[in-house]
Structure 1
């Protein structure tokens, strides 16, 4: 941030320039605290401007549904101070969970309550198109053709997805999804969920897709506070397996904060979950080879 921009922002938001501090990290945005109460985000490049525009439409819908997320204080698209749209929101006083100790079960139950509000109360924001997350079966065929999996495993995977599809209602509801419910976007203080942040991946899609970026044991705990629906667990597993397979051909991702960044992490997470004797109905969702 240039001294000129720092001074202009300080004047606009009524605080000393010395109260503006950069927050490290963040893939999509440069982030700054503006004193004790405000938080500024500026897209890093043109690619991420659309995400911020999406957030400007989604956050009011989420807050209207009662979801705990910071309010937008200012959304500037004039490009007078910065050659990009930028957003100033309320500052959440807390830290994310990436490097924190595992929170108690009550935290995950509260998260489930928040996601239930989002999914069952929020209306579809203007311009947010439906997204079903894709069909993983062409990915399986591609992995087999390229030699990433053997033909027998590919056959079993295809049968597993066919089985999961029979458990998921054809006309499952489409809901407002945060789209990136992951540890880096869950702000906590004293083991209490302070708010969901970063709505740039929001979508209008099936509820099961919402739980694809939490580890499955965390999903189980979160569902204790969520209103279950028919086929929800099958839908969640569909995305964990499908997106995990889709990551297999990606390059290594050292140093990333999100657990799903390394190519094999999500599939190994499914393996670890099923090796721990998961509760019903999870065990019955996977078909044994030959069945």
Structure 2
């Protein structure tokens, strides 16, 4: 989920009312909004997320959390289109200079390998062909469809990796998790952390950098430009 206020005031007022029904008179601060998800900081320790599929996401997190080497959000209240989760400490690594993120690359590659090794995960199928990702500006060949699909995070960028000092404190936003091409995760790690990868990962790294370039938020644009310079 990307930063910025909710673009629908109706969502905001309904969401705030729902949070207060669940938790009482608490401080609520908008954290960000995606196409169909909204997130709010609730006090100092909780985050409330609304949107399509959040209850399924809560079930997914409960299933995968014990099997992963890094923390993921812990739902404490689920229902009525809302998850209330314990807030992950630290800040997203997207806020750090690209050169400072390199130290986290080996641990994140190990994490991605652990995610891709999970079996029997109840997640939707994403068999979108690579050509659907292609941007005319990419300047790279379209790879063949993946021959092996695995469980993937689906949006494993630096904005979703939280750290406190030199310690990764959690991987957030599992709303795009699916059974899909593992190169999608590896591409975002290549884009944001300079991890090694094959041409499939490079294809997704470039396509997602161009997507972030168009998003227009300065932090994302700066990161995308740096990534494209390194990838070309």
Give TM-score scaled by structure 1 length. Answer: 0.60
Question: Which residue of structure 2 lines up, in the alignment, with residue 98 of structure 1?
Answer: 94
Is this contact kept in 1: 2:105–2:193, CA < 8 A? yes
Partner of 2:29: 22
Give the alignment partner of residue 188 of structure 1, picking from 144, 153, 163.
Answer: 163
Match of 2:6 in 1: none
- Unaligned runs of 5+ residues in structure 1 are 12-16, 44-48, 78-84, 224-231, 275-291
Does residue 39 in structure 1 map to residue 47 in structure 2? Answer: yes
The offset of 1:195, in angstroms, is 0.4
Residue in 2 that maps onto 1:228: none
> Quick one: structure 1 residues 5 and 71, their matched pair in 2 at CA, closer, same or farther if it must change by over 3 Å?
closer
TM superposition shift of 1:4: 5.6
Q: Which residue of 2 aligns with 1:239?
A: 204
Going from structure 1 to structure 2, the CA distance change for 1:243 and 1:109 (only over 3 Å counts) comes to closer
Among 158, 161, 177, the alignment partner of 2:152 is 177
Structure with a larger share of its residues in strand: 2
Between structure 1 and structure 2, the one with the greater Rg is: 1
Residues 217 and 257 of structure 1, relative CA distance in 2, 3 Å threshold: closer
Q: Report the counterpart of residue 56 of structure 1 in structure 2.
A: 58
Match of 1:24, SS? strand
How big is the alpha-carbon RMSD for the aligned residues of Structure 1 and Structure 2? 3.6
Aligned residue in 2 for 1:198: 173
In 2 relative to 1, CA 4–137 (structure 1 residues): closer, same or farther, beyond 3 Å? Answer: closer
Aligned length, in residue pairs: 216
| Structure 2: tracts of 5 or more residues without a match | 1-12
| TM-score, length basis structure 2 | 0.73
Compared CA separation, residues 32 and 205, structure 1 to 2 (3 A) = same
Specify the SS of the correspondent of 2:119: coil
1:70–1:207 distance in 2 versus 1, CA, 3 Å: same
Q: Can you list the C-alpha shifts for 1:136-180, whole angstroms capped at 9, x where unaligned?
A: 28958xx5xxxx89xxx8xxx5xx44xx54xx9x743x2111111
Aligned with 1:118: secondary structure? helix
Query: Following superposition of structure 1 onto structure 2, how do residues 51-200 of structure 1 map, counting pairs within 5 Å?
Result: 52-66=54-68, 67-77=70-80, 85-102=81-98, 103-120=100-117, 122-129=118-125, 131-136=126-131, 160-161=141-142, 165=144, 171-172=147-148, 174-200=149-175
Taking the aligned partners of 1:242 and 1:255, their CA distance within structure 2 comes to: 17
The aligned counterpart of 2:230 is 272
